[in-house]
Amino acid sequence: MTPVGEIDVAPDAAGARSGPAVAARAIGLRKVFGRTVAVDGIDLDVPAGSVLGMLGPNGSGKTTLIRMLLGLTRPTAGTAELLGHAIPKESARALPHVGALVEGPGFHPFLSGRENLRRNAAAEPLLASREIPAAVDAALERVGLAGAADRRFRGYSLGMKQRLGLAAALLLPRRLIVLDEPTNGLDPAGTRDVRRIIAELHAGGATVLVSSHLLAEVEATCTHVAVLQNGSLVAAGELRSLLEAGTGGLVVATPDVELALRTLRGTGATAYRAEGDEPAVVVDGGGPPAPETIALLVGAGVAVHEARRHRANLEDLFARLTEETP
């Protein structure tokens, strides 16, 4: 036990000095339920201080991956680390610093929101007993539930339940917050609140791992993205560089869409009709440079009304990564 402990402490100490470190790490994580492969050998680093958005269609293995990282589910193969500690072996070292909302908020219907949180707080190693009432009040206030704190959980709306689950993760300052579908059932105001809370956590230096199927949410709040598909990681990295990797093309607004497509395809470029009301074509990057493309179109008699850089958003990226190629 002692030598293992020393080895594990060493990278921590180094990380404290050299800045960036890894808050959560999956190494070859794999989980098989019967004949279903839920997670198929995922390697993923969640950099300390980042907000990592985990994306993927339903059933892509997001929740199973999160549950393995938290030590709730035993991996079939591979290892997980949280804050530099092996999971589940050293869970007791890491988990006090981790707040999590996994698989929907779990609370007891016959207790009020405040009583439920007190019960959660009693189990938190880092909260002293005398700090509990204040910590519970602060968490309720932070998620906008102070007014309904003394109502029974049974009577809460879906959004209020979700807010209470968030409050449990925020009972004390954490180093890592894991939120599995935090905006489920929330109204637009609630979604904004979640976005604000994630931004506050990020500003305070905490690492946030958030899974979502709401791409706009992720694009608005995340610094990093990991995209899962059928239990495998299909892309991971900084949001900005992932988006930039998918650009370089042109959007050309023109009423002569057919002629433009024929001309462009004649040169071997990949071009397709743009979605939307305005008639336009999209030319993928990798073909001739933009001035040549425009000159080519004008030379062929295409009326070019406007040409601009094609800015990929997360939705395009996600669609490209997770949908079958047409």
Partner 1 sequence: MTATRVLIPADAPRSAPLGRLLAAELRWVLRRPRTLVMLGVFALFPVLIAIGVVVADRSAGPGAGLIGAIAGNGLVLPVAAMTLALALLLPLAVAMAAADAIAGETAHGTLHGLLISPVGRLRLVGMKAFGVLVVAVLAVTVIAVVGVLAGLVVVGGAQGQLITLSGTTVGLGEALVRVALVVGWTVGQLAAVGAIALAISSVTEHPLVVLASVLGGLILFGVLSAIPALEWLQPYLLTTGWSAGVDALRDPLPLDGMAESSLRALCYLTIGTALTTHHILHRDA
Residue 111 within binding range of partner 1, rule CB under 8 A: yes
Q: Which is nearer to partner 1, 97 or 163 (CB)?
A: 97
| Residue in the structure block whose two tokens are 């980042």 | 50
Instruction: Select the span of 90-98, 263-271, 301-309, 312-320 touching partner 1 (CB under 8 A).
Output: 90-98
Tokens 């002569």 correspond to 256
Contacts of 75 (CB under 8 A, 6+ apart): 29, 30, 31, 39, 68
Residue 257, CB-side half-sphere exposure with 13 Å CA sphere: 12
Taking the C-alpha atoms of 181, 113, 88 and 212 in order, what is their torsion angle to the nearest 10 degrees?
0
Q: Which of 76, 79, 86, 118 binds partner 1 (CB under 8 A)?
A: 118
Q: Which is nearer to partner 1, 204 or 286 (CB)?
A: 204
Q: Per rule CB under 8 A, is residue 25 in the interface with partner 1?
A: no
Binding mask 42-81 for partner 1 (x = CB under 8 A): ------xx-----------------x--xxxxx-------
- Residue placing its CB nearer to partner 1 in the complex, 178 or 280: 178
| C-beta of residue 153 within 8 angstroms of C-beta of residue 184 | no
Quick check: 236 binds partner 1 (CB under 8 A)?
A: no
Rule CB under 8 A: is residue 115 a binding residue for partner 1?
yes
What angle in degrees, to the nearest 10, is found between the helix axes of 158-169 and 113-122? 30
Which of 51, 54, 65, 127 binds partner 1 (CB under 8 A)? It is: 127
Q: Which is nearer to partner 1, 131 or 284 (CB)?
A: 131
Positive or negative, the Cα torsion across 164, 101, 98, 190? negative
Tell me: does residue 168 bind partner 1 (CB under 8 A).
yes
φ, ψ of residue 33 in degrees (nearest 5): -105, 110
Are 84 and 15 in contact by the 8 Å Cβ rule? The answer is: yes
User: Please, which of residues 200-229 interact with partner 1 by CB under 8 A?
Assistant: 204-206
Question: Minimum CB separation from partner 1 for residue 83, in Å?
Answer: 6
* 288 upstream amide cis, omega within 30 of 0: no
Nearest-CA neighbor of 49 among 94, 83, 88, 100? Answer: 83
Q: In the complex with partner 1, which residue's Cβ is closer, 206 or 236?
A: 206
Residue 109 found at the interface with partner 1 (CB under 8 A)? yes
The set of residues, in sequence order, having a beta carbon less than 8 Å from that of 232 and lying 6+ positions away, is 40, 41, 42, 61
Q: Which of 120, 162, 221, 293 binds partner 1 (CB under 8 A)?
A: 120
245 binding partner 1? (CB under 8 A)? no
Binding residues vs partner 1 (CB under 8 A): 9, 12-13, 15-16, 21, 23, 48-49, 67, 70-74, 83-85, 91-98, 100, 102-111, 115, 118-120, 122-127, 129, 168, 173-175, 204-206
